[in-house]
Structure 1
């Protein structure tokens, strides 16, 4: 099952990794704290993983409009 990277703001798929599972080395390499894993990593019904990240376009928008950081979902 692949690991998908999806923008948490616009929900665009950023990329995929053809891995079978997420192990501790992967989590440490990506600096995901154990108490934050449920926020950024979702497990699908088929055993696939989705990692919430941010795409370049949304990052650029956040840099231009820093007040967007206060909003949980700013793209409607």
Structure 2
């Protein structure tokens, strides 16, 4: 099943990755705690997995306003 990618801040869809196992391999290579890995990948009731990343627009906003890193989300 494909893994959907969306921005963790603005919820914009960023496409999908067809190879779920490849996604898990990439996540496992990152210096993240188990809790951070679970936050990065979520699953809904239907079993659809979502990779929560940051889009270019939100990354630019965070770069210009580093204090926003303190928040889980900054777009209301």
For Structure 1 versus Structure 2, the TM-score category normalised by the shorter chain is 0.7 to 0.9
Gaps of 5+ in 2: none
> What count of residue pairs does the alignment treat as equivalent?
74
TM-align CA RMSD: 2.0
**TM-score, structure 1 length as denominator?**
0.78
TM-score scaled by length of structure 2: 0.78
1:23-51 deviation per Cα after TM superposition (whole angstroms, max 9, x unaligned): 6534334x154332221111233332101
List runs of 5+ in structure 1 lacking aligned partners.
none
Q: Greater shift after overlay, 54-63 or 40-49?
A: 40-49
